[in-house]
Amino acid sequence: MSTHRYLNVSFWQDAFVLDLTPEEKYFYIYLMTNSKTSQIGIYELPSRVIELETGYNRETVEKLLTRFIEYGKIEYNQPTKEIYIRNWAKFNWNNSEKVITRVKADLENVKHQPFAIKYVDYVNSLEKNNKVIQYPYSIDSLWKKEKEKKEKEKEIKEKENERETTRPSSFDIFEQGGYGYLDPITMQKLFAWIDDFGDEGDSIVSKALDVGIEAGIKNYKYVNGILRNWHNKGFKTTAEIDANEIARQTKDNNQVKPNVQTTKRSPEEIARLKERNERNMRQMLGGEDVEIITE
């Protein structure tokens, strides 16, 4: 069964639409009638689909999306690729039971829940709507999730700000210890190690840099190998690393050295060696008649 999207003739006399450019009018109609639309004006719409269906390039698509967001006509959630046409119901509302059923089903499929809440609030405020649309899920659980999300985002932002204001001491060791210029890529890699090791991350990275300095191998690749080895062993503190090094040195010192046994020669072997040495000596001195005096 084919799907149809109806455009109310009042669309063309809307004050906002009258002020749009031809390109903007075309794009606005596209947003309300494209192949991904739903009965509620909330649907997934990746930029690539817009490019294919409108013929616009990526730059134009992003420009128009940004423009309509600034106009306050749409919202776009990047993680879910969902678009919300804020006044969709203004031009597309229908009180029929069939449409209401479809609306409820579409609300259940919305991934970014705040969009669904906004839609329900807007629809229930319309004068021409004589139905009451219920929220598709518990409003309390929704706002709880949103609150947790915002708190998490705040925590991440505070951590990033702390990074920017607090410079790890390991960075100073890198630059002052002869490792050279600390470029942004290497800096991010060191930050990653600091995070991986936890509370003593900066101290552990500093320790690895010190090992490189003592070994005379001052490059990131060497230090990265040390850190990977410690991480694979599950070390989380410098005390664990020191204890491991002491244990290794103790083991090396206690290793049994192989016994070197002196081969004992028989009297006959000694006599033969003595005779051979005397013969070699005569040849060196000029002949068999030379007398060799031994004690």
Share of the chain above pLDDT 90, in %: 40
| Distance, CA of 214 to CA of 217 (rounded, Å) | 8
Residue 133's pLDDT is: 60
Higher-pLDDT residue of 185 and 269 is: 185
Token code pair at residue 284: 């060196």
Residue 56's pLDDT is: 94
How would you class 93 by CB atoms within 10 Å of its CB: exposed for 0-12, middle for 13-18, buried for 19 or more? middle
Higher-pLDDT residue of 292 and 242 is: 242
> What does DSSP say about strands 74-77 and 42-44: parallel, antiparallel, or unpaired?
unpaired
Residue 62's pLDDT is: 93
Question: Locate tokens 């070699």: which residue?
Answer: 280
Model-level pTM? 0.46
Nearest one of 171, 241, 176 to 213, comparing CA atoms: 176
Higher-pLDDT residue of 80 and 273 is: 80
Nearest one of 52, 118, 58 to 82, comparing CA atoms: 118
**Rg of the chain over all Cα atoms, to the nearest angstrom:** 40
pLDDT band at 219 (very low <50, low <70, confident <90, very high): very high
Q: Is the pLDDT of residue 47 over 50?
A: yes
pLDDT band at 144 (very low <50, low <70, confident <90, very high): low
Residue 292's pLDDT is: 47
| Distance, CA of 196 to CA of 239 (rounded, Å) | 17
| Distance, CA of 135 to CA of 12 (rounded, Å) | 32
Share of the chain above pLDDT 70, in %: 77
